Amino acid sequence: MASHTRRRILQGAALAAAGSVVGGYGGGHYAAAAQAATGRAADGGELPFLEGALAPVTEELTAFDLTVTGRVPRDLDGRYLRTGPNALGLEDPRAHHWMLGDGMVHGVRLRGGRAEWYRNRWVRSSGVARKLGETYPGRVPPDDFACNTHVIPYKGRIVALQEGGPLPYELDGELGTVRPYDFRRTLKGAFTAHTKYDAAADELHAVTYYPTWDHVRHLVVDGTGRVARTTRIPVADAPMMHDFALTRKYVVIVDVPITFDPAAADAGAPVPYVWNERHPMRVGVVPRSGGAARWFEIDPVYYSHTLNAYDQGHEVVVEYTSMPAPFHAAGRGSGGPSATGAPTLDRWTIDLRGGRVRGTRLDDLPQEFPRVNESLVSRRHRFGYTASAAEMWRAYETVDGVPPDEKFTNCLVKHDMARGTKEVHRFPKGAAASEPVFVPRRGARDEDDGYVLSYVNDPDRGATDLVVLSAQDFTGRPQARIQLPGRVPLGFHGSWVADR
């Protein structure tokens, strides 16, 4: 029997704005509350990134012995964690940008065939601590922010990540914030949300950017957990680099035409990065061991997320999700990004001998959040996993008036790159399936011998389930649906943090 304790932490008039634009998923309370906050009809899509499946939650919950449909595999011993923006205490919801919502991590502890607990916790930056009436311990780091983009295991720790400036935050096993994390005092300046961990080399790679830099940095964190090498790669216009790719030999830098705009920053734009027609789109290939980038100019596209990359003779292969140009990091009034089309799964084959990049559309089903068996990062893979959530894309496309793609449904997808086929696990309307994370079965030998974990809303229950699929029976009935006591808003990225 599920039991949980609720800790209501939003209180007081100062937080009324935040409290009034959030609410239960699919609940009638939500519509009335949103109206109160905006003075407009809640169904008008005025604040799409604060509504419906994207609406922040208002409470930190702790629940034990979660109800399970099916069986939790006994070899899943660890924590499934996923983070995302969850705005707290908004004074002006209409001035808010989705990507700047305070990071909240949602976690489920699995052990011995049981779902022991669920917790959701804001990352305690100085700003979050202040809004919660708590004391921030220690000195506040520069560019402090409640990291909202990724949460990863690293060297026995749990680390929440953000790009473009803020230090990572270390979390404890119950999602409490420990302290800013700077790789044993070796990280100087900005970090990233999308690292690549090469398990065979025991190296954590990052490509970092900062608005005032005239370069981006490739960082290698070695097996001792220290930033062992930094390579500065000159770039013009201070571009935003959300993700990159890694092979055994190369780092692939993606120089997209989304660049820092000082005028927008001066005007107070929450995300002062704009689509810059004058900035050429380039892909840079840098030797992992250091050295200069070799650049390839290509047609503009928004490079969103890397599935994986690998070397293939004299070629570098990168599989990724992208969106058509132009892509606006700060949509014109939407409170989040906006795009002119849906994301697709694509491949670049970079011919280092011939000096060309060949693009291939792998799948035009709108999809995002590509993941691979993490043990194969930088090595050739066969399988990839993605998510499709109509709810997120509707928010993106309201700005440009482009109707949501009918194909952008609710599903998880398993791709077989060797066969060029896919399997689709569908969920009902309103499911808002989030990033699928592959976890190998204990003793697995095959690449896809394991589980795919994802938070999926149950609209009937008005709450979210942690869904566990068998990766080798992808379209079959889930092995387990673990009922969480609340809703997990559609967010960003996460990880399986194994206990052993």
* Calpha distance 77→71 (Å, rounded): 14
Q: Is 242 annotated as a binding residue?
A: yes
Q: Is 4 annotated as a binding residue?
A: no
**Other CB atoms within 10 A of residue 449 CB:** 15
In whole angstroms, how large is the CA radius of gyration of the chain? 21
Q: Which residues pair with 258 in a beta bridge?
A: 275
Q: Quickly list H helices, 221-308.
A: 262-266
Strand order in the sheet with 368-371: 368-371, 383-388, 411-416, 421-426
DSSP 186: T
* Calpha distance 79→495 (Å, rounded): 8
Q: CA 219, 234, 252, 238 torsion: positive or negative? A: positive
Closest CA to 274 of 288, 290, 260: 260
* Calpha distance 424→16 (Å, rounded): 41
- Tokens for 370, please give them: 């590509």
CA angle 280, 283, 288 (to 5 degrees): 145
* Calpha distance 490→55 (Å, rounded): 8
Peptide bond into 326 cis (omega under 30): yes
Q: Is 425 annotated as a binding residue?
A: no
* Calpha distance 437→447 (Å, rounded): 14
Cα end-to-end span (Å), the chain: 28
Give Cβ neighbours of residue 409 (< 8 Å, ≥ 6 apart): 388, 390, 426
* Calpha distance 400→206 (Å, rounded): 33
CB-CB contact of 18 with 90 (8 Å): yes
Binding-site residue numbers are 194, 242, 305, 493
Binding-site residue numbers for Fe cation are 194, 242, 305, 493
